[in-house]
Structure 1
């Protein structure tokens, strides 16, 4: 299978470099230079992954990422934010709204390729088999990204989890009754190479609890250790 990657950057030289780098790895590559063009091509080209710069000429890349994740036609696309911004706040914001990874410029070519391939492997694994996870109040079809909350006060259409929130919930249901450290959740959901702190795990769980409402009672904080999911 030949994966398609959409590269988004207003630097023509860097865009051409990325194009050649990825083609050498036998990826199919399409490009865009603005946020608007990115969102249009994300729908038209159906890429498997987007390399997205934050400093675009027409809009902030964070807003582009957020719009892509909120659109049902593009929410499944993996996104790596590739930017010169090095502030921790930018990294946390990007990951919180659904980006799969965050790399700063200048980047190491081999590391970028390794991260891309790691994300694509995870996508392959998710789609390989139909996995159903369930608890007393929650049922998840992992491969189809379908969540059912049994509490009648929440409508299914109102549950819009980012990819990271979705993966966190799956991690809890796969390890029901086990205490999971923040480091374990960080490594399981974000991967070993992500340059971010466990504070991001806390913020994602806080938002996840709000989104799933009463069903969040299963996610329990274990002071000094992490979290666990109990029926």
Structure 2
């Protein structure tokens, strides 16, 4: 597993690198946001540990630009920062970060969070089957999803593992209203660390890929005060 560490403080970057390399991970360090974007495209890491305060481009902008690059590998992103206020966590998660760790941190917690994020990609579907609705077909064995909005025309959906599992979970129970907590338990289980509003971020990203108009969703609908549900009449 390749990990990109984007941290401008040499002591912290070296600590992270040594901690993770002792656990068997391969690590690369960048000191600023612009270099990190170039390294990301060349290295295509499995996970990025991204400091919020960086020279050049800050961590929020780096995270946003990475999530916009849909044609290459979509890594997990762990936001690392000394700023621990709730609004900073919300902003970080809204740009596409998967988790948030506040400095100072313990090496043990860092390793636990990294392993929890990487284990998500290893989760397998509970059953081997095809899920199908009027507009969507999901092959759970092959992790292939497609959408058809016109008769006899189907287009593949470029979904991350988490997005695929999120869509599959909702399609398997059409009309069911899922709270954030229920979706976290279903998709992450005991591996989850962080704010439950990360679910909102993944819902927004999924809508952009599956909805004709993400601002007015036809399939993944918000139930105000409760959560989300899937409908495909």
| TM value normalised by structure 1 | 0.78
CA distance in 2, matches of 1:18, 1:191: 26
Name the counterpart of 1:227.
228
1:49 aligns with 2:47: yes
Q: Does the 8 Å CA contact 1:172/1:229 hold for their aligned counterparts?
A: yes
Q: 1:119 aligns with which of 107, 117, 129?
A: 117
Q: Does the 8 Å CA contact 2:148/2:155 hold for their aligned counterparts?
A: no
C-alpha RMSD of the superposition: 3.6
Question: Residue 178 and residue 53 in structure 1: after superposition, are their counterparts in 2 closer, same or farther (change >3 A)?
Answer: same
Deviation at 1:55, TM superposition (A): 0.7
Question: Residue 206 and residue 26 in structure 1: after superposition, are their counterparts in 2 closer, same or farther (change >3 A)?
Answer: closer
Give CA deviations for 1:167-209 in whole Å, capped at 9, x if unaligned.
54333123334332221124445665433244x5456546755
CA distance in 1, matches of 2:158, 2:87: 23
Name the counterpart of 2:219.
218
Question: Residue 67 and residue 180 in structure 1: after superposition, are their counterparts in 2 closer, same or farther (change >3 A)?
Answer: same
1:17 aligns with 2:15: yes
Query: For 1:96-135, what aligned pairs fall within 5 Å after superposition?
Result: 96-125=94-123, 133-135=131-133
CA distance in 2, matches of 1:139, 1:61: 36
How many residues align structurally? 226
Structure having the larger proportion of residues in helix = 1
- The gaps in structure 2 that reach 5 residues or longer are none
Q: Does the 8 Å CA contact 1:6/1:30 hold for their aligned counterparts?
A: yes
Deviation at 1:93, TM superposition (A): 2.7
1:82 aligns with 2:83: no
Name the counterpart of 1:39.
37
Question: Residue 45 and residue 173 in structure 1: after superposition, are their counterparts in 2 closer, same or farther (change >3 A)?
Answer: same
- The gaps in structure 1 that reach 5 residues or longer are none
Q: Does the 8 Å CA contact 1:179/1:226 hold for their aligned counterparts?
A: yes
Deviation at 1:72, TM superposition (A): 3.1
| TM value normalised by structure 2 | 0.77
Deviation at 1:73, TM superposition (A): 4.7
Deviation at 1:63, TM superposition (A): 0.9
